[in-house]
Structure 1
Amino acid sequence: MANGVERELVLLFSEEELREMSGVKRGGEYIEVTCGCTSHRYGDAVGRLRVFINGELEITCECTPGCDEDTMTPAAFEKHSGRETARKWKNNVWVIVNGEKVPLSKTVLLKYYNQASKNGNGSHRSNNGRVCHRDEFVRCNKCNKERRFRLRTKEECRIHHDALAVANWKCADMPFDK
């Protein structure tokens, strides 16, 4: 099974893509590289970035010998390093390529990173962690207008799915609020 995982990692990132990066290690389910984040006040905070097969990113902090932080997300690592302009971790967290600090956004390491895959099932989480849905539209076959369907409750989702199931849906079929 380990050979199958290694073959998948080779397909994930080629040897050429990782050749010039500093501190590359291949694990069973991930690739690990040396990374860091620079704060104008505190200097460089160094860590180990792990890129997993499923696209998740995880950083182990190595900023100081006494640092008690375990693994964290790149955004949390950026904040932990004392970066003044946090919330731009793709540009502020860097890896060393050919001896120079290169932002993650300019490397191949984010190729498989997909935040939406963590939320699953097409539902999305807002900043407060509560599940919400996007609104959907269905086109009327008679007047050719797109009609909005709110998807906040199970009933509203059911109404939308019923409208999608009808081949010749019309605006008159849409339920209305009294």
Structure 2
Amino acid sequence: MANGLERENGGMVVIFNDEELSEMSGVKRGVDHIEVTCGCTSHRYGDAVGRLRVFLNGDLQITCECTPGCQEGKLTPAAFEKHSGRETARKWKNNVWVIVNGEKVPLCKTVLLKYYNQTSKTGNGSNRSHNGRVCHRDEFIRCTRCNKERRFRLRTKEECRIHHDAFADGNWKCADLPYDKYVVVNWN
């Protein structure tokens, strides 16, 4: 078994073993996914039911079956939560549920999110936070004199420029920055 994935005789891929899915309602195995019955409850509209597909790469997709003529088609869990009329949207891991042993269990309490990777779903690799503003990670540069790594905060254009200049200088030393502009990180 490599990376939790295993091929059966029919060429179907086993993402989760039978024991993990034994008590879930409506389990079907596909060639590159598993499918289970899911839903989301709105206090105003009641239960919206769908079919959750968990793919090999961790993608989640819900086919809405809330009404016989629903035109929504394939949705992300967040879009399904919103479509169902859930009042406290944006918590789909808690609000979208599957039936386990006859009970509604939130996705976050099941094995179905085992391969879900939030960072790969944030789009084009941009450094945007949840509020849409650009954010940066801190960077480190090693001092050529004392061999300690110094942290550079990258929150403003000025801080980014200071880091860029230090990074471009092949003979950068701690003394090139004022005392309050760096943080000592000693990895030794």
Q: TM-score, normalised by structure 2?
A: 0.72
What is aligned with 2:137? 134
The answer to whether the 8 A contact 2:12-2:31 is kept is: no
RMSD: 3.5
- Could you tell me which residue of structure 1 aligns to residue 4 of structure 2? none
Partner residue of 1:82? 85
Q: 1:160 to 1:135 in 2, by over 3 A?
A: farther
List gaps (5 residues or longer) in structure 1. none
- Structure showing greater radius of gyration is 2
Kindly indicate which of the two structures has a greater share of residues assigned to helix: 1
Match of 1:15 in 2: 18
Post-superposition shift, 1:124? 3.4
Cα pair distance change 1:137/1:13, threshold 3 Å: same
The alpha carbon displacement at 1:117 in A equals 2.0
- Map 1:111-150; keep pairs closer than 5 Å: 111-119=114-122, 123-127=126-130, 133-140=136-143, 142=146, 144=148, 146-148=150-152, 150=154
Return closer, same or farther for 1:92/1:84 CA change in 2, 3 Å cut-off: same
Is it true that 1:34 corresponds to 2:60 in the alignment?
Answer: no
Cα deviation 1:42-91 (Å, max 9, x = unaligned): 10000010111111111110000121101111111111111111111111
Q: Which runs of 5 or more structure 2 residues have no equivalent in the other structure? A: 1-6, 178-188
Describe the SS at the equivalent of 2:39. strand
Aligned length: 168
- 1:44 is matched with which residue: 35, 42, 47? 47
- Decide whether the 8 Å contact of 2:166 with 2:172 is kept in 1: no
TM-score relative to the length of structure 1: 0.76
| Aligned residue in 1 for 2:28 | 25
